[in-house]
């Protein structure tokens, strides 16, 4: 299986400050078609996950532009330029290239 | 606006079959993948499998022997059956839609999710 390793496990951020989450995969997520099959999701407390970023760097519809994704191959990063109170929850990366599709263990983001 | 809604029992006895149905409203099932993901209480997310609108399926190998995902486009529904359940199958089950830029290669992401259904095996 493709193991997805996220860091840090948790993050406490002051509103208005930036935040960054790393995700590493045990296999390359770059397909020969040029796409990296890596997505980022936020699961707010008591809610279902919502996609933020897909194909490594494409922001999903309706997602604020303070969220950005980057990376290729096996190393990926989600950045929040200025954290807001509504950004609390658990962030997951997920690879969709290799079967089984797998998620990272999650990064819990709290507001200071 | 596409919405997904699950239906099915919240309690299943050990060794029996868990059955859930996801109804799609506000859009067509054509040219999308439709998947199931679960989350045990207090834990992370596990992909169960998905089905393309043509009927092609892909399952998590760890569950493959027990899982069947099917769809009925005439009813705008897709379903999950998980046989021989144990307490380890207790989880919140989500259904979700997945578009694909390169069909038959991979899904892009799961972009629309339902609220989830808690299923306990006991």
Q: Chain A contacts of B33, Cβ < 8 Å?
A: none
CB under 8 Å to B22, separation ≥6 — which residues?
B4, B5, B6, B7, B34, B36, B77, B78, B79, B80, B95, B114
**A19-49 tens-digit pLDDT:** 999 999 999 999 999 999 999 999 999 999 9
The pLDDT of residue B24 is 98
Q: Give the integer Cα–Cα distance in Å for B25 and A78.
A: 32
Q: How many Cβ atoms from other residues are within 10 Å of residue A9's Cβ? A: 9
A99 touches chain B (CB under 8 A): yes
With tokens 């694909």, the residue in question is B100
pLDDT of residue A65: 97
Cα A65 to Cα A85: distance, rounded to the nearest angstrom: 16
Name the residue among B46, B106, B111 with its Cβ closest to that of A97.
B106
Across the interface, whether the CB atoms of B46 and A48 are under 8 A apart is answered no
Phi, psi of B82 (to 5 degrees): -125, 115
SS3 (DSSP) at A85: helix
Taking the CA of residue A107 and the nearest CA in chain B, the distance in Å comes to 10
B105, B107, B116 member nearest A33 (Cβ): B105
| Confidence bin at B104 (pLDDT 50/70/90) | confident
pLDDT in tens, A54-109: 999 999 999 999 999 999 999 999 999 999 999 999 999 999 999 999 999 999 99
When CB atoms are compared, the residue of A31, A41, A50 closest to B106 is A31
């Amino acid at each position: 299986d493709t193991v997805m390793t996220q860091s840090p496990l948790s993050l406490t951020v002051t509103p208005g400050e930036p935040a960054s989450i790393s995700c590493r995969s045990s296999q390359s997520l770059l397909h020969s078609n040029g796409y990296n099959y890596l997505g980022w999701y936020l699961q707010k407390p008591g809610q279902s996950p919502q996609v933020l970023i897909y194909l490594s760097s494409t922001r999903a519809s309706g997602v604020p532009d303070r969220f950005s994704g980057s990376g290729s191959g096996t190393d990926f990063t989600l950045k929040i330029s200025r954290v807001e109170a509504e950004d609390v929850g658990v962030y997951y990366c997920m690879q969709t290239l290799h079967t089984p599709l797998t998620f990272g263990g999650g990064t819990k983001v709290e507001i200071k | 606006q596409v919405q997904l809604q699950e239906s099915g029992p919240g309690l299943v006895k050990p060794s029996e079959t868990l059955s859930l149905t996801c109804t799609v409203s506000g859009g067509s099932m054509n040219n999308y993948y439709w998947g199931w993901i679960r989350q045990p209480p207090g834990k992370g997310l596990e992909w169960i499998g998905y089905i393309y609108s043509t009927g092609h399926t892909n399952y998590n190998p760890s569950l493959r022997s027990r899982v069947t995902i099917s769809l009925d486009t005439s009813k705008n529904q897709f379903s999950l059956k998980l046989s021989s359940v144990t307490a380890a199958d207790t989880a919140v089950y989500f259904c979700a839609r997945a578009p694909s830029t390169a069909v038959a290669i991979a899904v892009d992401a799961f972009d629309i999710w339902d609220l989830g259904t808690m299923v306990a095996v006991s």
